[in-house]
Amino acid sequence: MNAREVSAPKGSVDPASVPQRALYTEALMPAIGLGTFGSDHVPVREVAAAVEGATAVGYRHFDCASVYGNEAEIGCALQRVMQGQVKRQQLWITSKLWNDKHAENHVIPSCKKSLADLRLNYLDLYLVHWPFPNFHPPGCDVTSRSSDARPYIHANFMKTWQKMEELVDLGLVRHIGTSNMTIPKLELLLRDARIKPAVNEMELHPHFQQPKLFEFVRAHGMVPVGYCPVGSPGRPERDRTSEDTAPTQDPVVLRIADRLGVHPAVVCVKWAVQRGQVPIPFSTKPSHYLSNLQGVVGEPLTQEDMRAISTADRNCRLIKGQVFLWKEGQSWEDLWDPNGEISPP
Ligand SMILES: NC(=O)c1ccc[n+]([C@@H]2O[C@H](COP(=O)([O-])OP(=O)(O)OC[C@H]3O[C@@H](n4cnc5c(N)ncnc54)[C@H](OP(=O)(O)O)[C@@H]3O)[C@@H](O)[C@H]2O)c1
């Protein structure tokens, strides 16, 4: 019996059995990660404990961000993990540049701060969290507007991106990527980047499948990472509207979950991995994060299940980003280039 069998909690998954996604660099990223955004209400210690607990049951991929306000605690958890049997190179750690750090002189120090907090000497992936520069106090109301908010200006974004590229040159990050981008913005970035984005992180769940962007990302050699994969039932109040729907209450998802004897969240996660995106479900409950991982290595959904879920799409974006709007009288849709062109400043 090896040491892992002695210490692994019951039901743990062998990390070697978790599917991987190849990036264009040929690096392999575990096809499921643990989200770490506590939605402004889950205590940081609880999230850090989940990172440690999730590693013990077989997770190797963690989706972090400076704005989640918990990288220092997660760093302590990762350090404990790496003092055990898990080596740094077996982990996949993502972090993100926050919106108030897009200025050229802020990008490298911001990444170094995340590295120091996470107690790492490199990141596997560093993302520009949103393509809009702005500042908002943590937990601000949905109606809040910042005088610092700016639209997407490609020339400015490229200045930020060149600093992201420098982070690769410096060996501080292995890959760089984007988040919350649209096709027209990605087209410009792909045209002008020296180092292409390796992933685009985007909202993806059965009620928001974004088929065009999903296919665009894959066709251009990027991996789609899917946030809110179970519909973010614990998301903050500012991210809720009366039109929102819940994929975990969808009749198709419920019927499959009932047949398999699993929580509907597990069906969402299985669907995501089988479709080809990398879901990063958040949970601090061991039974939940373990069942999500078990779902990924367990019996696949049938072709009929996959087809039925593909027809359940409701084009229901949950994370609308209202607080990032840059002038009065705008609609949140303006952030997402609904006409296929970058919304005018
Ligand atoms: N790039 C971006 O702009 C962006 C935006 C949003 C999110 N993210 C990332 O994506 C991650 C995931 O998004 P999210 O946290 O908003 O939403 P989510 O993962 O869709 O939903 C998380 C919620 O689902 C519950 N849950 C998860 N698995 C479950 C299971 N098996 N059974 C029952 N309930 C389950 C969790 O509750 P319990 O804790 O009670 O299990 C938690 O409240 C974030 O943590 C963050 O890392 C990135």
What distances in angstroms separate CA 312 from CA 249, 268, 315, one per listed residue? 11, 12, 9
Does the pTM surpass 0.95? The reply is yes
Q: Rounded to the nearest 5°, which phi and psi values hold at 125?
A: -155, 135
Distance CA 145, CA 152 (A): 16
- Confirm or reject: Cβ of 125 under 6 Å from ligand 1: no
Question: How far is C-alpha 343 from the geometric centre of its chain's CA atoms?
Answer: 24
For ligand 1, atom 43, name the residue with the nearest CA: 234
Q: What is the pLDDT of residues 43-100, one digit of tens each?
A: 999 999 999 999 999 999 999 999 999 999 999 999 999 999 999 999 999 999 999 9
Q: Is the pLDDT of residue 136 over 80?
A: no
Cβ atoms of 62 and 95 closer than 8 Å: no
Instruction: Name the percent of the chain lying above pLDDT 70.
Output: 98
pLDDT of residue 8: 82
Distance CA 177, CA 222 (A): 9
How much distance in Å is there from the Cα of 36 to the middle of ligand 1?
A: 8
Determine how β-strand 176-179 pairs with β-strand 223-227: unpaired
Cite the active site residues.
68
Summarize the confidence of residues 269-283 as an average pLDDT.
98
Q: Name which of 58-62, 154-158, 203-207, 234-238 the model is least confident about.
A: 234-238
Cβ atoms of 73 and 44 closer than 8 Å: yes
- Confirm or reject: Cβ of 168 under 6 Å from ligand 1: no
- Confirm or reject: Cβ of 263 under 6 Å from ligand 1: yes
How much distance in Å is there from the Cα of 166 to the middle of ligand 1?
A: 31
- Confirm or reject: Cβ of 94 under 6 Å from ligand 1: no
Angle (CA) 283-286-291 rounded to 5° is 80
- Structure tokens given for 203: 């909202």
How much distance in Å is there from the Cα of 16 to the middle of ligand 1?
A: 24
* Cβ-based neighbours of 251, under 8 Å, separated by 6 or more: none
Q: Is the pLDDT of residue 111 over 90?
A: yes
